[in-house]
Amino acid sequence: MSNLVKITIDGTEVEVPEGTTILDAAPKARAFIPTLCFLKGLNNLASCRMCSVAVEGQSQMVTACNTPVREGMAIDTKSDRVKRHRRQVMELILADYQPDPQRDPARAGQNQLERVAKMVGVDTARFAAPDPNATRMPLVDDNPFLSFDPNICIRCQRCVAACNEGAHNHILGTEHRGARWSIKAPFGPDWNASTCESCGCCAGACPTGAITEKRTRHYTPQGVKRVRSTCPHCAVGCQINFLVKDGAVVDAEAVNGPSNKGLLCVKGRSASFDFATADDRLTSPLIKNRATGKFEKATWDEALDLVAARLTHIRDTHGGDAIASFACSRSTNEDVYLFQKMTRVAFGTNNVDSCARV
Ligand code: SF4
Ligand code: SF4
Ligand code: SF4
Ligand code: FES
């Protein structure tokens, strides 16, 4: 068990394990510290300084997201000095943030950056360029799924961390130096030559929508309802919010579940909902007509009777080992348990496996 250290946060004394960051310790004292660039377990570059707090005896503010506590530390998260500092940090960040003047007003105030700006009391970009159009850069928009708008990138590098450390795809990087420093996203004409898997983890991590999935253009954040679910595709069981608009699922976003920690692979992100309303979705069993070779609709009773009769016939004629069972990885644990039971007890064979071992 790790040693505990005693600290005070805004005058409240708390004990936390040695090595805890100030950010993680704050809730123990019911203190709230805003963050922007921080992504738990992925990005602690501390590049934005939004989480700045004051520590007694130190002249400079420290960043709560990557500073570990130490015995006797007295931390101030909400004095006027701290609040003033955060407002100035936000004003400097907004100097580089130039949303499209034509954007749908319904999208204003909806991304994390704009919500944090409001939270810390900043409603105007005091240091913004007088003529943003003079420096406006083109969209990187050739990728069919993803788009990058450098004009609203605040260089927090959450996307880079999500791609490299979360998805382990190592596609995103940075390019240029100084004021021209930018995210290098392979979403331009060369997108197909990159090894980007279109998993969308970068877009999911972006606090401004600079990297975004194109399908988000078809709805506004206020126009959808979120329904918590589990990805139907494999045994990892990633947690998902399905976004529902007018009774149809229009998008899926990662939830911070125990097995996925806020990430999804391309299947969960982009292939876990369209089929629900697909015109060619199978909605009843089909049995092949041996005379015509065509599949024809059948009832569940007809289909199950046929399968049972055929498998029984094979077992009785050739023995149970003539049968092998292979369970779909989308099945639940309970279904897979019953499946192996049926294979062993009813068919009399140990030939059973599953593709849930990914
Ligand atoms: S979509 Fe996935 S693989 Fe491609 S850049 Fe984004 S995080 Fe990396
Ligand atoms: S694209 Fe988004 S996540 Fe990446 S650095 Fe820019 S603002 Fe941050
Ligand atoms: S298919 Fe991908 S998103 Fe879905 S549960 Fe498996 S790993 Fe997670
Ligand atoms: S959130 Fe801590 S420095 Fe950005």
226 and 183 inside one domain: yes
Print the domain residue range for 328.
Answer: 286-354
Torsion of the alpha carbons at 190, 192, 194 and 198, rounded to the nearest 10: 120
184 and 219 inside one domain: yes
pLDDT category, 264, cuts 50, 70, 90?
Answer: very high
pLDDT > 90 in the chain, percent = 76
- Which residues have any ligand 1 atom within 6 Å of their CB? 146, 162-163, 167, 169, 171-172, 196-202
Specify whether the CB–CB gap between 249 and 273 falls below 8 A.
yes
pLDDT value for 332: 82
The domain that contains 9 carries what CATH number?
3.10.20.740
Residue 52 clears pLDDT 90, i.e. is over it: yes
State the angle between helix axes of 112-119 and 80-94 in degrees (0 to 180), rounded to the nearest 10.
Answer: 150
**Residue positions counted in the chain:** 358
Domain assignment of residue 190, yes or no: yes
pLDDT digits (tens, 9 = 90+) for 314-338: 999 999 999 999 998 878 889 999 9
Number of domains in the chain: 3
Specify whether the CB–CB gap between 39 and 162 falls below 8 A.
yes
175 and 222 inside one domain: yes
Place of tokens 């709230």: 32
Residue 202 clears pLDDT 80, i.e. is over it: yes
Residue 157 clears pLDDT 70, i.e. is over it: yes
* CB of 270 closer than 6 angstroms to any ligand 3 atom: no
Model-level pTM? 0.86
Domain assignment of residue 246, yes or no: yes
Residue 150 clears pLDDT 90, i.e. is over it: yes
Residues 6+ away with beta carbon under 8 Å from 309: none
- Which residues have any ligand 2 atom within 6 Å of their CB? 153-159, 183, 205-206, 208, 210-211
141 and 265 inside one domain: yes
Q: From CA 207, how far away is CA 193, in angstroms rounded?
A: 27
User: Atom 3 in ligand 3: which residue has the minimum CA distance?
Assistant: 268
Closest ligand to C-alpha of residue 268 is 3
pLDDT value for 132: 73
Q: From CA 185, how far away is CA 172, in angstroms rounded?
A: 6
Q: If we measure between CA atoms, which residue out of 165, 163, 164 comes closest to residue 41?
A: 165
149 and 184 inside one domain: yes
What is the average per-residue pLDDT within 49-65? 96
pLDDT digits (tens, 9 = 90+) for 217-257: 999 988 999 999 999 888 888 999 999 999 999 999 999 99
Ligand 3 probe mutation, 201, 229, 230, 236, most atoms within 8 A of CB = 236
pLDDT category, 178, cuts 50, 70, 90?
Answer: confident
169 and 249 inside one domain: yes
Domain assignment of residue 125, yes or no: no
* CB of 186 closer than 6 angstroms to any ligand 3 atom: no
Residue 180 or 66, more confident: 66
What is the average per-residue pLDDT within 188-209? 93
Domain assignment of residue 107, yes or no: no
- Single-letter amino acid, residue 226: R
Domain assignment of residue 226, yes or no: yes
* CB of 63 closer than 6 angstroms to any ligand 4 atom: yes
pLDDT value for 276: 87
163 and 254 inside one domain: yes
Domain assignment of residue 197, yes or no: yes
pLDDT digits (tens, 9 = 90+) for 80-123: 999 999 999 999 999 989 998 888 888 888 899 999 999 999 98
140 and 226 inside one domain: yes
Domain assignment of residue 119, yes or no: no
pLDDT category, 133, cuts 50, 70, 90?
Answer: confident
